[in-house]
Structure 1
Amino acid sequence: MRPQAHPGLHVIALVEAAKGTLALLAASGLELLGPAPLQRWIHELIARFHLNPEHGGLAKFADMISPHSVHLAAAVVLLYGALHLVEAWGLWRARAWASWLGCLGAAIYLPFDIYALFKHPGWIAVAVLVINLIVVWVLGRDLFKRRH
């Protein structure tokens, strides 16, 4: 018998569903736009910030954009979105595997959140760290209750 989903799981499930939906929209947008508008936007950024259009990271990035790379990026974003939607469904249904997936996924970001807090201190870095800690705590508590 599986436990009833508590409101914390539902809130996390809604956030994951939103992330998954946005990722699916982004993947669709990449496929619909193709490489030409992306290259144009990067060249506009280079011009706006008076960067060297022949050298530098953005110029190299613009050169790497091709139909194949756009399809590859869209596929990766599609998989990312699908994973978040599956996780959201599992959390809404109080599935243990979804709590494991969400807990591990949020915990992976914690070292980067701590690094960001020290590198760029501010309320945004603190908020991101606190939110991820809450997610890990809620999902970890759910997993702990399942074992006991």
Structure 2
Amino acid sequence: SWQQRFGSLLSPQIDSIVQIAQQASKNWSLFLLFIFAYVSLRFIEAYGLWQDKTWAYWFSVIGYGIFIPIEIYYLIVSPFDWFKLGILLLNIIIVVVVYRNMKRKGLI
């Protein structure tokens, strides 16, 4: 029973991941380059936040905030999905927390 519910809850995401993997296998080197670049940017951001750098806070707010309109768009035009809603809420929380930290530290 649990497996059927869990499977039906995540089946759209699993299908999407399979489609992405199939497309990535055609352009494997480009896909790996994109992943490496994205991960590198996030590590640089994490290092900057750890070192309490002003640029890292701005980078974080912009980097996560830029996805919010896109996520809202896909939540509206595609069938409702709890996973998409959860990701949207998580991004909003991240942006709000980082923005509040910026205000608390007097960066804005």
TM over 0.5: yes
Please name the residue that 1:98 is paired with.
56
User: After the TM superposition, which residues 64-75 of structure 1 pair with which residues of structure 2 at under 5 Å, given as runs?
Assistant: 65=26, 69-75=27-33
Letter in 1 for 2:73: Y
**Deviation of residue 133 (structure 1)?**
0.6
Aligned to 1:115, which of 73, 84, 90? Answer: 73
**Deviation of residue 120 (structure 1)?**
2.6
Q: Could you state the TM-score of these two structures normalised by the residue count of structure 2?
A: 0.65
Please name the residue that 1:124 is paired with.
83
Structure number with greater Rg is: 1
Compare relative contact order (CA 8 Å, sep 6+) and give the higher one, 1 or 2: 1
Aligned to 2:96, which of 131, 137, 147? Answer: 137
Distance across 2 between alignment mates of 1:94 and 1:112: 29
Give the superposed CA RMSD: 2.4
- Give structure 1 stretches of 5+ with no counterpart: 1-40, 43-57
User: After the TM superposition, which residues 1-148 of structure 1 pair with which residues of structure 2 at under 5 Å, given as runs?
Assistant: 42=22, 65=26, 69-118=27-76, 119-145=78-104, 146-147=106-107
